Amino acid sequence: MPIRIGANPIGWSNDDLLEIGGDTPLETCLAEAREAGFVGMELGNKFPREPAALKAALAPYGMACIGGWYSCELLTRSAEDEIRALRKHLDLLKAVGSNVFIIAETSNAIHGDRSMPLSRRPHLAGPAWAEFGRRMTQVADATLAEGVRVVYHHHMGTVVQSEADIDAFMAATGPSVHLLLDTGHATWGGADPAALAARYRARISHVHCKDVRPAIKAKSDAGDWSFLDSILGKGDELGVYTVPGDGCVDYEAVFRALPGYSGWVVVEAEQDPKKAPALPYAKKGVAHLRKALAAAGLA
């Protein structure tokens, strides 16, 4: 599959705080996404979760369904139980032609709790990584047998946040588990996304593209803000995340580290749309990605 540029609807409507963008109709999100130049959308809280209804919602806008987030709890339940729990989500993805299963461990995550500073995020150590990796590999083997690849979403406020966490996770999992490279979470978590891209090129099958505002990151780090306060911004300030081309991430370097990549690159920059209107930011992100992909020889 050639590289295609898609979007996550979180720039229009937030999935962790439903009141943020809560009054924006799904139809507005899809129409503006098409106008911005996107050709696919990941799932959000306003999307139908039955195949026929989902296809009917996307079809008028010429949008493919890229996939959608799945919260797993492999630290607290077996791989067999997780495979049973994810059945409906997997069946939906298969029915709409998506071949990536975006997954993240959330049993002890804090990113959805606005009162919880990021310093309180969970950690794994020693043998816990091996068992977590074994369970994740078992899940990934099961979905891959049905034609859908697990791509793990490292994320602020979770057990896989830092560069060391990503390295430990990748070492603990088998080849069926691939990485969702998220440029924004990598940068904020202290890693160089281009270095991660080069290190794990053979196991990267999905890319989330968001940029980081260094000044807001510095305030969040110094003040030990929660994830939600950081992405929404305090007072009149914008949040830590923005679209590609509006922050400090070197996208040309990231794409140069992904030779031969095919699949989706997805703009996923959660912001408060009242402060950062979704459409103009989406257009800026698409334009920057097209330029960076061309410069890196991937377009």
For residue range 98-156, list pLDDT tens digits in order: 999 999 999 999 999 999 999 999 999 889 999 999 999 999 999 999 999 999 999 99
Tell me, what's the pLDDT at 19? Answer: 82
How far is residue 258's CA from residue 199's CA, in Å, rounded to a whole number? 10
Residue 2 confidence (pLDDT): 87
Residues in Cβ contact with 47 at an 8 Å cutoff, skipping those fewer than 6 apart: 9, 26, 41, 54, 57, 68
Look up the domain containing 92 and give its range: 4-295
Identify the pLDDT of residue 131. 98
Q: Give per-residue pLDDT as tens, 175-214.
A: 999 999 999 999 999 999 999 999 999 999 999 999 999 9
Domain count, the chain: 1
pLDDT-derived band at 22 (thresholds 50, 70, 90) equals: confident
User: What's phi and psi for 123, nearest 5 deg?
Assistant: -135, 155
**Average confidence (pLDDT) over 71-78:** 98
- 3-state helix, strand, coil split of the chain in percent (to 5) is 45, 15, 40
pLDDT of 18 higher than 80: no
- Residue 262, domain CATH: 3.20.20.150
Distance of alpha carbon 180 from alpha carbon 162, whole angstroms: 14
- The residue with greater pLDDT, 22 or 116, is 116
Q: How far is CA 278 from the centre of its chain?
A: 17
pLDDT in the model for residue 20: 83
Packing angle of the helix pair 51-58, 87-95 (nearest 10 deg): 50
Question: Which residues make beta-bridge pairs with 103?
Answer: 70, 152
Q: Is 44 helix (H, G, I), strand (E, B) or coil?
A: coil
What pLDDT is attached to residue 1?
62
Q: What confidence tens digit (pLDDT) does each residue in 210-254 have?
A: 999 999 999 999 999 999 999 999 999 999 999 999 999 999 999
pLDDT of residue 42 exceeding 80: yes
Helix residue ranges per DSSP H, the chain: 26-36, 51-58, 79-85, 87-95, 127-144, 163-172, 183-188, 193-199, 214-223, 227-232, 251-256, 278-295
Span 262-298, pLDDT tens digits: 999 999 989 999 999 999 999 999 999 999 999 999 9
